[in-house]
Amino acid sequence: MIRNKAYSVGQINAYIKNMFTQDFVLKRIYVKGEVSNCKYHTSGHIYFSLKDDTGNIACVMFAGMRKGLAFRMENGQQVVVLGSVNVYERDGKYQLYANEIILDGAGLLHEKFEALKRELEEMGMFAPEYKQPIPKYIKKLGIVTAPTGAAIRDIINISHRRNPYIQLILYPALVQGEGAADSIVRGIRMLDDYGVDTIIVGRGGGSIEDLWAFNEEKVARAVFECRTPVISAVGHETDVTISDFAADLRAPTPSAAAELAVGDVRLVQERLLQYRIQLGRRMMNQVSAQRNRLSGYKMKMNYLSPESQIREKRQLLADHEDRLRELMGQKIQKNRHVLALHIEKLKGLSPLEKLNQGYAYVSDGENHKITSVTQMPPGTKIRIYVKDGSVTAQVDRPDNTVGKAEDPAADGETCMSQHAGKC
């Protein structure tokens, strides 16, 4: 009866494997321990064990999962393995199948660093187009760091050496330990609101644990959102933090940050002195050139004197005036002669001149001119115009004899009157 109810070893191992497979916790689990019996197989698989003070577990990382390993494993390393626990049916042993392996402590922080870096980079927080230029010459420098230590002393010494007139404003922040990230964020935002020209955020060197506050996401966001240009100066030249990527400029050390933020006034003063010398030299050259030019103008003015030119033009004008008067006199004299000829001609044709010569002008009572005796029948009243006046007369008897001398008195019938009298 007992023999009929017995299970094979394979059935038991399969059953146990099925139990492991169905266990949700064992499908994805982190296991921390010390590496031992580590062997790199020629196939690319890695066989090792994890142990601690209480136990030991067999582990394997297949060659296809080696991308989840960023370092070479060695015995004695403290690591954290991400994988699943399952049963190897042939041997009836359970073991940890590794997908990712990271070093414990610093290694874990490094993995966390890389994950946050990738996340923020994908969000565009490290993009060059968002970087602000650092002003060349500033008046106020904000500093977020510990109030004691080599970092602040180096920044103060170098800043005052390069520019003794600069104003340094320190926010004494925690740069390590609990609450350090929040303290750094408050310092950045306070100095940003205060209105400094540039902000240096940093500290001296240390381990990755000591520098971890500058790898916090909140610090990176505060640096990225800051309206004031930010220079990150954390640790030594080989130390790199998330704030270095988010900042507008990374300095390898706090001393280098001070040199990048503060312009050297001595160079400016030397340059100003050179400019002053050059300006003075150029001014003297210009003055000398203008003096020579003025002397040339003076000589030219003496040669071409305006007074002489005016005097010459006046003489020329007087000559033109005399000539004009002469021509005008000749023209008037000529026109006067022509006018006299026309006057004499007009006199010859003038009716008044005819009257002066003894001729008379006769018109009827209606002032119509009379040129023939036929226009004067007996009794016609006529007006006779002579040199000095006119008389009114009445025709008694017309005489059409032309050229015959007649004696008016013989007839005794012709009479003239000044006032229309009768004969």
pLDDT at 406 over 60: no
Q: Count Cα atoms within 13 angstroms, Cβ side, for 118.
A: 5
Least confident of 104-108, 321-325, 335-339: 104-108
Residue type, 329: G
**Mean pLDDT of all residues in the chain?**
85
Q: What is the pLDDT of residue 10?
A: 74
Provide the pLDDT confidence category of residue 335 given band limits of 50, 70 and 90.
Answer: very high
Task: Determine the length of the chain.
Answer: 423
Provide the pLDDT confidence category of residue 88 given band limits of 50, 70 and 90.
Answer: confident
User: Rounded to whole angstroms, how far apart are CA atoms 254 and 202?
Assistant: 7
User: Rounded to whole angstroms, how far apart are CA atoms 152 and 142?
Assistant: 11
Q: What is the pLDDT of residue 60?
A: 94
CB 265 within 8 A of CB 164: yes
Q: What is the pLDDT of residue 414?
A: 39
Name the more confident of 295 and 407.
295
Q: What is the pLDDT of residue 290?
A: 93
Angle at 382 between CA 378 and CA 385, to 5 degrees: 145
Q: What is the pLDDT of residue 108?
A: 64
User: Rounded to whole angstroms, how far apart are CA atoms 204 and 143?
Assistant: 13
Q: What is the pLDDT of residue 247?
A: 96
Residue type, 346: L
Q: What is the pLDDT of residue 105?
A: 66
Angle at 69 between CA 68 and CA 73, to 5 degrees: 155
CB 277 within 8 A of CB 266: no
Q: Rounded mean pLDDT of 38-56?
A: 92
Q: What is the pLDDT of residue 180?
A: 94
User: Rounded to whole angstroms, how far apart are CA atoms 143 and 251?
Assistant: 14
Q: Rounded mean pLDDT of 129-141?
A: 94
The top-scoring range by mean pLDDT among 154-163, 264-273, 313-322, 381-390 is 154-163
* 32 strand-pairing partners: 80
Question: Which tens digit of pLDDT belongs to each residue from 167-198?
Answer: 999 999 999 988 999 999 999 999 999 999 99
Q: Rounded mean pLDDT of 195-223?
A: 91
Collapsed DSSP state (helix, strand, coil) of residue 29: strand
User: Rounded to whole angstroms, how far apart are CA atoms 303 and 417?
Assistant: 92
pLDDT at 227 over 50: yes
Q: Which residues of 212-248 are buried (b: 16+ CB within 10 A; e: fewer)?
A: bbbbbeebbbbbbebebbbbbbbbeeebbbbbbbbbb
pLDDT at 421 over 70: no
pLDDT at 259 over 50: yes
Q: What is the pLDDT of residue 143?
A: 97
Name the more confident of 303 and 44.
44
Q: What is the pLDDT of residue 410?
A: 41
User: Rounded to whole angstroms, how far apart are CA atoms 207 and 210?
Assistant: 5
Instruction: Tell me the whole-structure pTM to 2 decimals.
Output: 0.48
User: Rounded to whole angstroms, how far apart are CA atoms 41 and 353?
Assistant: 161
Question: Which tens digit of pLDDT belongs to each residue from 276-290?
Answer: 999 999 999 999 999
pLDDT at 156 over 50: yes
